[in-house]
Structure 1
Amino acid sequence: MKKKLKHNLLIASATVAISLFFVGSNSNIQAKNYHQAVTKIAGDGNFAVYHRVSKNGPAGKFTSTKYFKHGQIQSKQSLATKKGTFWKIIVDGHPVGWVNQNFFARNEISVAKKVSLVQNSDFSFKTRDAINYVTDSAGTAVNTGKVSVSKASVSSATPGKTTIEYQYGKAKASVDVTVRDDKNEGISRAALTPKNGPKEVATWKGSSKSSSRNWNAAHHYTSETRANTFHANGLTLKTKLFQPRFVSLGYHEAGDQMGQVGVIPEGISVNGPDFTVALFKSSHDQNGHLVTYNLNHVNKFTAQNLANLKWSTFKRYAANIKVSPYIKLGHGQAIGSSADYIYVIANNNTASNSSASEEILQIRKSDMKINQIWSFRIWSGAFPRYIHNATFDGDNTMYCLFHNGGNGYYEYWKVTRNGDTWTPEEVGATKGNFVSNHSPVQGFTYDSNRKQFYIGFNDYIFRVDQNGTYKKTYHFNVKREIEGLSAAGNKLYVEFAQRGELTAGQIK
């Protein structure tokens, strides 16, 4: 009997030991598991990252959260221990380790510092547009639609200030929304005679007709291993960066709408070493993420494999890739940047020529959060110019492209900021439609050194002087859509779709 009892005790002890071993090895035992990931929001502090946890606490410290706080953080597993609750985090799609729940921004609503609106009776500001993120008591991101807001919208018809209060559980925030008092702000005159444009060219309508070598089902969307060189009429573009398909967990794993980063690029900006791209789950979305890569610290091929990089390489890359919260970006193709900020017009690309104002988001590069929001308008007398494509030259100037389809010409507008006021001035115009099938503009940028615009349609780029004088056409014949243009220094940067590929060429 004693031998049998001893035998049973040994079995029980072994079972407990095995159970504890598997908890420490990140198994499902004693942990809360999520079939799909939740999105987590980093707080300001730095915390240790551990290999293992058990009911007694963490073990095997091997790195710090300081390398990962600006990445896309997700989790499928948490564990309550004697030393607090720990979450196993995945950053930019790469498994990392276990961190204390105190690392996350808990019970917090992050909003823009201020919102300033141009006076316009045809526009009301949706107050949830000012939200960066909302978190619950565990630091998990919450759909902004669940937030209680004191007013769902603010009309910009009458000057004045309205304080908007936000609340979700214990989390609270507020922002002042001010309507500016100049009723004529944004009203100018389109009076320039359009310059002669190029002969219209034929191109396809719809999505790309081709892809990079491996971006297809036959090659299982594997990584590219050879750089490209594209030539067109004296402009040579070379691969600068092949981007990852996702900067997060992929399809069916990113469980909430805030989680998936990718797979559709829609606009780019390059300033110094910083390359920013707007990414969406689908081309119909109005909300998405901005991702900024430090081009000095990422290899043109290696970044494609974020989820599978060896640890030392991933840690270095994670510190040089920043992901914004899931925010309203409009179509994402009216974008630019300065040394410290990213600027996006959060427009509606399905609006043909609305009289509504449009929102400019100023986003801090330091933490990828909305700093402030302005609305602006461009009207020629009583006739609105709703902007689909724009670029920014520093912090106080943007250039906007407007297509007058009825009269068949393009207008170029310079809009200058003084304080919170945005003043438009027409600087040029070009006759014609550039392409023959009404295919939309897919890239627009301004070369401030030469005072020239670049306009992209599918795999065509047109170069035009600031006053609208047509200069040159570049046709790369790669049958991949151009998804963004950016002029910086002496280089023109061009983003191609499928796979997202940043190329660069010398401007002559």
Structure 2
Amino acid sequence: MKKRFKNTLLVAGTIAAVGLFVGSNNSYISAKSYHKAVTKIAGNGNYAVYRHASKKGPSGKFTSTKYFKHAQIQSKKSINTKKGKFWKIIVDGRTVGWVNQNFFARNKISVANKVSLVQNNKYSFNTKDAINYVTDSAGTAVDASKVNVSKSKINSGTPGKTTVNYSYGKAKASVAVTVRSDKNEGIARANKTPKKGPKEVTTWKGSSKSSSRNWNAAHHYTPETRSNTFRANGLTLKTKLFQPRFVSLDYHKAGDKMGQVGVIPEGITVHGSNFTVAVFNSSKAQNGHLVSYDLKHINKFKAQNLLTLNWSTFKKYASHIKVSPYVKLGHGQAIGSSSKYVYVIANNNTSSNSDASEEILQIRKSDMKINQIWTFRISNYGNPRYIHNATFAGDNTMYCLFHNGGHGYYEYWKVTRRGDTWTPVEVGATKGNFVSNHSPVQGFTYDQKHSQFYVGFNDYIFKVDKDGTFKKTHHLNVRREIEGLSSYGNKLYVEFAQRGELTAGNTN
């Protein structure tokens, strides 16, 4: 039903300006459509960005889309002109200008190049997990639930190959899903004698009990202006980057769940100057975004101020902050990277233990899209090890942490890839629970230089040798949750919540 209100016509939730007259000469301004914010997906071409757009066309070219191809792009306005349809784009939460609709990836479905499943009759692969994004004829992102698939799930109990077809309107894609042939893949003996563990410590359960100086209502969540230095039992951490609350429009403005990038950070990985963090809009969400920062080009304070940076700095920052599509990331705490890829285990953190296989996503750093997916499993001859925390040491090796709650110790597993096969071997174990109240692990990484693990709980970090021998406890006393650990070179990187803050210190 149509409703009229003064000079506007309301149709299906879109407000279209009809015959608006402005200025002293009452000159006619062309019809513009005002929408609830939508997420737009950039295509491959470079297009001009304009300050203005009217029925005659755009004017005032001032920049190019080449700076924003891997940013989070949204829009709330569009206009039909004699030179095509134009959208006013919002980049990383900041209004920029008008772009021809041809800039967007229109009628496209982007999926992983291939999917390879470990043989496991107790697991079925959800084929929509392979989707990067889906767009309509205007290049607007479409919820993956609306996509038609030729096969919604593939049971991994029987070896073979299945081609899965995806379609939405004119958009089509396909992916080959292979179930590997070795029925014993993933079966390994958990036979390491646990080493003596640390004295269990008492910590809180639940969310952070404090925040950074300005991340609170009293300070209106304003940006931080001073670095931090945290010291604990020989470990010194210093601020490397304060992250923006949102890399998009914020609460209630983003329009859809695909659009909001923030405000909950989870796992992190650092490789060289590349820092990537998994970001969710809800603590219960299984889907989210990866946000990648090039630390060489971003000041540790300025990234908080994307909306108010001078234009040249914002343009530079937008080109060095990459945002992935809205994809399944699980809890985001099982993450790592190599020079070309980010790896994430898209697990279910609500599962205490399970016979199910787990998905490894290989995500290209070049465009932040899923390249391929494998599943793996670890089973101690019928006793599963469902992994919540893991880290990756290059493209072919990951280390996994498993809490054997029934026997009160932690197991460390090395899982090595050869081709598409992932083979687990237990490398160590540590007695005890580390913390006394069953608080979950919130960070796990492997220091290759010193062959040791770091395990984080709230504001505690435990250092453990590769064989499980306990080495040291670091209590940082910041009362902020650790939301991820990563090790690269001789540095340990620690992410804190509220505000998202990356810190770094030397390993030894």
The TM-score bracket by the shorter chain reads: over 0.9
The alpha carbon displacement at 1:13 in A equals 10
The alpha carbon displacement at 1:406 in A equals 1.0
Residue by residue over 1:311-339, the C-alpha shift from the partner in whole angstroms, topping out at 9 and shown as x without a partner, is 11100000100000000000000000000
Letter in 1 for 2:122: D
Q: Give, in whole Å, the separation in 2 of the partners of 1:14 and 1:441.
A: 59
The residue that corresponds to 1:191 in the other structure is 191
- Pair 1:274 & 2:274 matched: yes
1:33-432 to 2 correspondences below 5 Å:
33-34=34-35, 36-432=36-432
The residue that corresponds to 1:442 in the other structure is 442
8 Å Cα contact 2:21/2:27 also seen in 1: no
Q: Give, in whole Å, the separation in 2 of the partners of 1:39 and 1:19.
A: 32
Q: Give, in whole Å, the separation in 2 of the partners of 1:147 and 1:178.
A: 21
CA change 1:207–1:14 in 2 (3 A) is closer
Name stretches of at least 5 consecutive residues in structure 1 with no aligned partner.
Answer: 1-11, 24-28
The alpha carbon displacement at 1:464 in A equals 0.2
CA change 1:384–1:86 in 2 (3 A) is same
Letter in 1 for 2:31: Q
Q: Give, in whole Å, the separation in 1 of the partners of 2:25 and 2:360.
A: 58
Matched residue of 1:308: which SS? coil
Q: Give, in whole Å, the separation in 2 of the partners of 1:178 and 1:133.
A: 22
Superposition RMSD on alpha carbons, in Å?
A: 1.2
- Pair 1:495 & 2:479 matched: no
CA change 1:447–1:402 in 2 (3 A) is same
Residue by residue over 1:418-447, the C-alpha shift from the partner in whole angstroms, topping out at 9 and shown as x without a partner, is 000000000000000000000000000000
CA change 1:13–1:242 in 2 (3 A) is closer
Matched residue of 1:307: which SS? coil
1:465-480 to 2 correspondences below 5 Å:
465-480=465-480
Letter in 2 for 1:445: T
Residue by residue over 1:35-54, the C-alpha shift from the partner in whole angstroms, topping out at 9 and shown as x without a partner, is x3100000000000000011
Which of structures 1 and 2 has the bigger CA Rg?
Answer: 1
Q: Give, in whole Å, the separation in 2 of the partners of 1:493 and 1:162.
A: 41
Higher helix proportion: 1
The residue that corresponds to 1:9 in the other structure is none
The alpha carbon displacement at 1:17 in A equals 5.2
The alpha carbon displacement at 1:95 in A equals 1.0
Q: Give, in whole Å, the separation in 2 of the partners of 1:434 and 1:390.
A: 17
8 Å Cα contact 2:403/2:410 also seen in 1: yes
The residue that corresponds to 1:30 in the other structure is 31
Residue by residue over 1:252-286, the C-alpha shift from the partner in whole angstroms, topping out at 9 and shown as x without a partner, is 11011100001000100000000000000011100
Task: Tell me the number of residue pairs that the alignment of Structure 1 and Structure 2 aligns.
Answer: 489
Residue by residue over 1:65-92, the C-alpha shift from the partner in whole angstroms, topping out at 9 and shown as x without a partner, is 0000100000000000000000000000
CA change 1:87–1:436 in 2 (3 A) is same
Q: Give, in whole Å, the separation in 1 of the partners of 2:307 and 2:144.
A: 28
Q: Give, in whole Å, the separation in 2 of the partners of 1:45 and 1:118.
A: 38
The alpha carbon displacement at 1:101 in A equals 0.1
The alpha carbon displacement at 1:18 in A equals 4.5
Matched residue of 1:462: which SS? strand
Q: Give, in whole Å, the separation in 1 of the partners of 2:249 and 2:57.
A: 27
Q: Give, in whole Å, the separation in 2 of the partners of 1:15 and 1:238.
A: 55
Q: Give, in whole Å, the separation in 2 of the partners of 1:148 and 1:60.
A: 41
The residue that corresponds to 2:8 in the other structure is none
Q: Give, in whole Å, the separation in 1 of the partners of 2:207 and 2:25.
A: 57
Q: Give, in whole Å, the separation in 2 of the partners of 1:13 and 1:202.
A: 67
Letter in 1 for 2:116: S
Letter in 2 for 1:296: K
Residue by residue over 1:141-169, the C-alpha shift from the partner in whole angstroms, topping out at 9 and shown as x without a partner, is 00000000001100000000000000000
Q: Give, in whole Å, the separation in 2 of the partners of 1:349 and 1:17.
A: 63
Letter in 2 for 1:152: S
The alpha carbon displacement at 1:305 in A equals 0.9
Name stretches of at least 5 consecutive residues in structure 2 with no aligned partner.
Answer: 1-19
Letter in 2 for 1:69: K
The alpha carbon displacement at 1:307 in A equals 1.6
Q: Give, in whole Å, the separation in 2 of the partners of 1:16 and 1:395.
A: 65
Letter in 2 for 1:329: L
Letter in 2 for 1:478: V
Q: Give, in whole Å, the separation in 2 of the partners of 1:463 and 1:88.
A: 50
The residue that corresponds to 1:454 in the other structure is 454
Matched residue of 2:129: which SS? helix
Q: Give, in whole Å, the separation in 1 of the partners of 2:24 and 2:155.
A: 64
Q: Give, in whole Å, the separation in 2 of the partners of 1:13 and 1:167.
A: 43
The alpha carbon displacement at 1:30 in A equals 1.0
Residue by residue over 1:446-466, the C-alpha shift from the partner in whole angstroms, topping out at 9 and shown as x without a partner, is 001110000000000000000
Q: What TM-score do you get using the length of structure 1 for normalisation?
A: 0.95
Q: Give, in whole Å, the separation in 2 of the partners of 1:16 and 1:162.
A: 66
Q: Give, in whole Å, the separation in 1 of the partners of 2:24 and 2:83.
A: 20
Matched residue of 1:495: which SS? strand
Residue by residue over 1:130-149, the C-alpha shift from the partner in whole angstroms, topping out at 9 and shown as x without a partner, is 00000000000000000000
The alpha carbon displacement at 1:94 in A equals 1.0
CA change 1:15–1:94 in 2 (3 A) is closer
Matched residue of 1:492: which SS? strand
Letter in 1 for 2:181: D
Letter in 2 for 1:33: Y
Letter in 1 for 2:493: Y
Tell me the percent identity: 77
Matched residue of 1:251: which SS? coil
Matched residue of 2:387: which SS? coil
Q: Give, in whole Å, the separation in 2 of the partners of 1:286 and 1:465.
A: 32
Letter in 2 for 1:475: H
Letter in 2 for 1:455: V
Letter in 2 for 1:376: F
Q: Give, in whole Å, the separation in 2 of the partners of 1:372 and 1:387.
A: 20
Residue by residue over 1:88-107, the C-alpha shift from the partner in whole angstroms, topping out at 9 and shown as x without a partner, is 00000011100000000000
The residue that corresponds to 1:26 in the other structure is none
The residue that corresponds to 2:7 in the other structure is none
The residue that corresponds to 2:17 in the other structure is none
CA change 1:390–1:30 in 2 (3 A) is same
The residue that corresponds to 1:5 in the other structure is none
